[in-house]
Amino acid sequence: MARSFEKHGAYVLTGPSQNVLISDITTFRLRGFALGISYLPFLVSPWVSALIVDSVVREGGIGWRWGIGMLGFLMPFGASFIICTLFYYERKAKKAGILESKKHTLAGFCSEVDLGGMLFFVAGFACLLLPLTLAGSQPSAWSTPWVIVLMILGVLILVALPFYEKHYATNPIVPMFYLKSSTIVLCCLLLALDSAAFSATHTYLYAWGVVVHDMSPVIANFYVYTNGVTQAFSGMIAGGIMWYTGRYKWLVMSGAILRLIGYGVMVMLRGQFNSLGELFGQQLIQGFGSGIISSCLIIPPQLVVPKAQIAQVLALALSFSYLGSSIGSTIAGAIYTNTMKPTLRSWLGDPVSPDLIDSIYDSITGELPAWNSPERIAINFAVSIMDASSVNDSETLTYASVVL
């Protein structure tokens, strides 16, 4: 669950190939725990990565080029282990006569991977979600012609997707009988919903911590990753419980309750006067809930399909998780682009320079006034409280009126 556990992120597993391998060699009862064990490296890597990020972004550090450069050789190195393993066993299967070699044509390959269905799926959601994020930055906002056209086009493409899959796709990425299975449909929707909720609330969490609480890059990264590390830990626990009891539905409900409590506490702690202990504690609650949900919901779809289709149903579940994460990021981006400038102007007051608002909007963590200055306090309120009319705390309003 790498991406979900950093959860810049929605939920995804440590990698589709790794999950297919684990699912192929484990029983259903043991599978959740086996997947949980694969999260072990994530209990360590976020804390190390926070120190690397600090070295990249701080003045006099190694610089942003090394940040990109490290990705260039660490990703291939990490992926090489599973790639080499797959090639090794493929060669072994061919020698044993289990796997027959056959020639692939370009048309045959496109048919096997259902390239048309993937294009419909990706293009539809891209046309639908992209305008939601960018509309607020356009002079005519939602009346911009290309925004309207793209959204209509996205809806039409998504409506056409099931018809294409049913009548034209030889190997559909979403077989129609999947849509008749309540287990598959509900698990995919719940994964998408959990990822969407996370991304909507956490896309700008790093920036919020730096702006409102003056966190250093190291502390801000620790704060962002706390949720993900807790997810990895609670995912192992949930997998162990499923292994011991053979049940998962009550675990999903308990995870959802914890998640909901975490979001409620997050709303309460959105101001600048809360301690770091409160902020990290809230992320721990959310992480425990999401780890349970993620670990439990990835198993049921595999129970209702033949073993040969486990990879396909896993890919579908992960796709919905990615999709939910994209929707959540789109919601967060739409809120930011549509409300941030007016909110900054409202809190900073009429004499504020448009250039200052533009610079803060374009780089919210890089163009900040000095800490505790009236402008910085106004920005803190704009980022954390947004609308002054929504504040019911008289102490907060009094403080804001005095310093501003």
Q: Take residue 142 and report the two structure tokens written for it.
A: 């939602």
Per-residue model confidence as pLDDT tens for the chain (404 residues) = 434 444 433 334 346 677 777 877 788 888 888 888 888 888 888 888 878 877 777 777 777 788 778 878 888 887 888 788 878 888 888 888 777 767 777 777 788 878 888 888 888 888 888 887 777 666 666 777 888 888 899 889 988 888 888 888 888 888 888 888 888 999 999 989 888 888 888 888 888 888 888 888 888 888 988 888 898 888 889 888 988 888 888 888 898 899 899 888 988 887 777 888 889 999 999 889 888 888 888 888 888 888 878 888 888 888 888 888 888 888 888 888 778 878 888 887 767 777 777 777 777 766 677 787 787 888 888 887 654 444 444 444 444 444 44
Q: Take residue 280 and report the two structure tokens written for it.
A: 């990290």
Q: Take residue 383 and report the two structure tokens written for it.
A: 């980022």
Contact indicator for 183, 303 with CB cutoff of 8 Å: yes
Contact indicator for 56, 66 with CB cutoff of 8 Å: yes
Amino acid, res. 251:
L
**CA 256/CA 263 separation, integer angstroms:** 11
**CA 172/CA 168 separation, integer angstroms:** 9
Is the pTM of the predicted complex or chain greater than 0.75? yes
Contact indicator for 335, 287 with CB cutoff of 8 Å: no
